Amino acid sequence: MSNSEQQAREQILNLVADYYNRFLKKDNDSFTKGDRIPYSGRVFDEKEVINLVDSSLDFWLTAGRYTDEFEKRFAELLNVRFASLVNSGSSANLIAFMALTAPELGDRQIKRGDEVITVACGFPTTVAPIMQYGAVPVFVDVTVPQYNIDVTMLEEALSSRTKAVMIAHTLGNPFDLKAVREFCDKHGLWLVEDNCDALGSEYTIDGKTAFTGTWGDIGTSSFYPPHHITMGEGGCVYTDNALLHKLVRSYRDWGRDCICPPGKDNFCGHRFDGKFGKLPVGYDHKYVYSHLGYNLKATDMQAAVGCAQLDKLIGFADARRKNWKLLHEKLECLSDVLILPEPAENSNPSWFGFIMGVKEGAKDGNGNELTRNAITKALEDNNIQTRLLFSGNVTKHPCFDEFVCKKNVEDAGDYRVIGDLSVTDYVMNNAFWIGVYPGLNDDKIEFMANVIKKACGRAV
Q: Which CATH architecture has domain 50-302?
A: 3-Layer(aba) Sandwich (3.40)
| Spatial CA neighbour of 40 closest among 256, 292, 316, 306 | 316
Q: Is it true that 50-302 and 313-456 share their CATH fold?
A: no
pLDDT at 262 over 90: no
Three-state SS at 33: coil
pLDDT for position 259 = 86
C-beta of residue 210 within 8 angstroms of C-beta of residue 186: no
| Spatial CA neighbour of 262 closest among 277, 270, 252 | 252
pTM exceeds cut of 0.95: yes
The highest-level CATH class for domain 313-456 is: alpha beta
Do the bridges between strand 218-222 and strand 190-194 make them parallel or antiparallel, or are there none, so unpaired? parallel
Q: How many CB atoms lie within 10 A of CB 53?
A: 18
d(CA 83, CA 220): 9
pLDDT at 265 over 90: no
From the number of C-beta atoms within 10 Å of its C-beta (0-12, 13-18, 19+), residue 408 rates as exposed
d(CA 13, CA 20): 11
Round the average pLDDT of the chain to a whole number and report it: 97
C-beta of residue 215 within 8 angstroms of C-beta of residue 256: no
Share of the chain above pLDDT 70, in %: 100
Would you put residue 419 in left (φ > 0), alpha (ψ -120 to 50) or beta? left
| Domain ranges (residues) in the chain | 50-302, 313-456
pLDDT for position 173 = 98
Q: What single DSSP character describes residue 233? A: S
pLDDT, tens only, 203-243: 999 999 999 999 999 999 999 999 999 999 999 999 999 99
pLDDT, tens only, 143-187: 999 999 999 999 999 999 999 999 999 999 999 999 999 999 999
C-beta of residue 271 within 8 angstroms of C-beta of residue 126: no
C-beta of residue 353 within 8 angstroms of C-beta of residue 321: no
Three-state SS at 202: strand
pLDDT, tens only, 70-118: 999 999 999 999 999 999 999 999 999 999 999 999 999 999 999 999 9
pLDDT at 444 over 80: yes
Distance of CA 138 to the CA centre of its chain: 20
What does the pLDDT average to over 395-408? 97
pLDDT, tens only, 346-386: 999 999 999 999 999 999 988 999 999 999 999 999 999 99
Among the listed residues 227, 228, 245, 285, the single catalytic one is: 227
Share of the chain above pLDDT 90, in %: 95
pLDDT, tens only, 15-67: 999 999 999 998 777 899 889 999 999 999 999 999 999 999 999 999 999 99
- The yes-or-no answer on residue 228 being catalytic is no
